[in-house]
Structure 1
């Protein structure tokens, strides 16, 4: 008899814990699971009342794809593609540079704010051909003005001398990029 009473009390306690946990998580327990002798604390955190506060970083505006290409007659091309993305709470870039005797695959850290960023070399990615950079090298900087996206060359340089001047618009955000 005592074993049945203890077992029933333990079962009721477990059921009460499950119900309180469900209520605390915002789950409505089935009405058949409610027991008259179990008291429920009112929950002030119903899902429809909780509004997440997501602070948007000024860096968010940089996420996307940026492209620049060069052509030197008769048949030399160079294509630059920078893909900026967020991982956890940090921003990174993969950089692909393809062209005549050129195939660079790089990963970089991105630091800055809504107006300007530095792209800082981190490591080489598979299929990279040359290794002229060291971790921490500033590859280039990008700055937004009212009407343009200006490039400031660092360790990465353009193929053509006509594009070597920093502070001009070379890269553009790719069509369809966020």
Structure 2
């Protein structure tokens, strides 16, 4: 063997490793997910049955609405975040939506209507969650939101929450 043969082999192996790692990154980047943590606990990550719908003209709100939700048939995994957005500059930072006329902001529903076991029980009282909408893609493109803050549940107990929403827009 020539000394150049030893040089070619490590370069070839490095290219294979880089190629595999690059494919792994592409797979992660093509996956929609929702991930959140409450009170510093274990992260909850949702990959399946995610719906992301944007309503530029919603008759129930005075502003465009973004609705992202998922729940499994057994109701063990549920998540919903809904935002009344600034018009026409949708991207930006939002606080809690208090459902008053002309109010913008996000809310996270607790899915009481489907008896979900993952209900957040987020009260609008002492709700200091900040939502940052950074991407609102076209249909088939990504929507990105990160959120964090503290809130009280309906029993007055304090909690913290952090999360990321990286989902594909359905309509």
Same fold (TM over 0.5): no
TM-score, normalised with respect to structure 2: 0.31
Structure possessing the higher radius of gyration over alpha carbons: 1
State the structure with bigger RCO (CA 8 A, min sep 6), 1 or 2.
2
TM-score, length basis structure 1:
0.30
